[in-house]
Homo-oligomer: A and B are copies of this chain.
Amino acid sequence: MQRCDTLIYADWCIPIEPDDRLLERHAVAIHDGRIIDVLDAALAQEKYRANAVVNRPDHVLIPGLVNTHTHAAMTIFRGLADDMALERWLREAIWPTEERWVSAELVRDGTKLAIAEMLRAGITCFSDQYFFPEIAAEAAADAHIRAVIATPVIDFKTAWANSAADCLSKASDLVHDRYVDHPLISSCFAPHSTATVSDEAFAQLRVVADQLDCGIQIHLHESAQEIEEALAKTGLRPFERLQKLGLVNASLLAVHCVHLLPSEIDAFAAAGVAVAHCPRSNLKLADGVAPVATLLDADVNVALGTDGAASNNVLDILGEMRTAAMIAKVQSDDAEVMPARSILRMATIDGARALGLAHEVGSIEAGKWADLTCIDLNRLHSQPIYDPRSQVVYTASSEQVADVWVAGRHLLDQGALTHMNSEDVIIRAQEWRQRIAAV
> Chain A: residues with CB nearer than 8 A to chain B?
75-76, 78-80, 82-86, 88-89, 113, 116-117, 120-121, 280, 282-289, 309, 312-316, 323, 325-327, 329-330, 332-340, 378-381, 383-387, 390-391, 394-395, 397-400, 422, 425-426, 429-430, 432-433, 437
Contacts and interface: CB of A to CB of B under 8 A. Distances in A.
Contacts of A75: 383
Contacts of A283: 326-327, 329-330
Copies of this chain per assembly? 2
B385 A79 contact: yes
A429 B117 contact: no
Most chain B CB within 10 A, of A80, A288, A329, is at A329
A337 B79 CA distance: 16
Ranked nearest first, the 8 interchain pairs of A and B with the lowest CB-CB distance are A384-B433, A283-B326, A286-B335, A79-B390, A399-B399, A83-B339, A85-B335, A313-B394
Nearest to A432: B384
B384 A429 contact: yes
A171 B315 CA distance: 47
9 contacts: A78-B384, A79-B390, A80-B386, A82-B387, A285-B329, A288-B330, A313-B395, A383-B429, A384-B430
A314 B386 contact: no
A380 B336 contact: no
A273 to B, nearest CB: 24
Contact of A335 (B84, B121, B323, B385): B84
Most chain B CB within 10 A, of A85, A288, A326, A425, is at A326
A380 B116 contact: yes
A414 to B, nearest CB: 15
Nearest to A394: B313
A334 B223 CA distance: 12
A333 to B, nearest CB: 6
B333 A286 contact: yes
A425 to B, nearest CB: 7
Contacts of A116: 380
Contacts of A117: 380-381
B336 A83 contact: yes
A418 to B, nearest CB: 15
A152 to B, nearest CB: 24
Contacts of A332: 286
A364 B127 CA distance: 43
B323 A86 contact: no
A85 to B, nearest CB: 4
A336 B84 contact: yes
A193 to B, nearest CB: 18
A89 B379 CA distance: 25
B335 A386 contact: no
A2 B283 CA distance: 50
Nearest to A86: B335
